[in-house]
Structure 1
Amino acid sequence: MITFLIIGITVLISIAAFSNYSLMDKFIFRPAESGSGRWYRFFTYGVLHADYTHLIFNMFTLYFFGGDIERTFKTTFGEQAGVFFYLLLYVTALP
C-alpha cells in the first residue's frame, strides 16, 4: 500500500531530521528561497515534523484515514489510476 510507503518515508526522514539540524534546514520550506533553485522544499517540508508527538499523531491519522482513501480510490478509479489520484491528493494537500 502506498500509505505504508508514505508513512515509512515520513518517519525515517523526520527522525533523521530531529537529530540532524542541517537536514532539517535543507528540507524546511522557506518561501523566500523557493525561487533560488530550492523548489524541492515545497515537497520535502511535507515529511518534516516539529517533534515526536506531531509525527506520531500525523502518522496515526494517516494510517487510519489514508488506507481507506487509498482503497476507495483504487476501487473507484482502478489500481493504477487510483494510486495516481491518491498521490495527487497527498501532494496537493501538502501546502
Structure 2
Amino acid sequence: MHTKGRVEMQTDTDGQPLKRRAANLTIRTDVLELARALHVNTSRAAEAGIIRAIREVQAREWLRGNKAAIEAHNARVDKDGTLLTPDWAAD
C-alpha cells in the first residue's frame, strides 16, 4: 500500500505486522533471471500474483454460488424494469 510516496507495512487487525513464512516455488529460469536483473522483489511479486489468483477464484465461486439470485434479479428487471429510475434517465 502506498501513502504519500512511502510504502506502509501491512498489518493484521491488531496492528501487528503480517507474518511471513518461507516457501519453495518453481519459477521459469528466464523469468527469475529477468526479475533479478530488474531488481524485482520476487517474494513480493509471487505473493501479489498468488493474491490475485485467490481473488479471481473467489470471484468465480461467488458468481457460481449466486448465479440463481442474479438470474432471478435480471429476469425481474427485464419483466418489471428497475425499481428506481434516476432523474437523468427519466423521459
TM-score, with length taken from structure 1:
0.30
The one of the two structures with greater contact order (alpha-carbon pairs below 8 A, sep at least 6) is 1
Which of the two has greater strand per residue?
Answer: 2
Which of the two has greater helix per residue?
Answer: 1
Indicate the structure (1 or 2) with the bigger Cα radius of gyration.
2
TM-score, with length taken from structure 2:
0.30
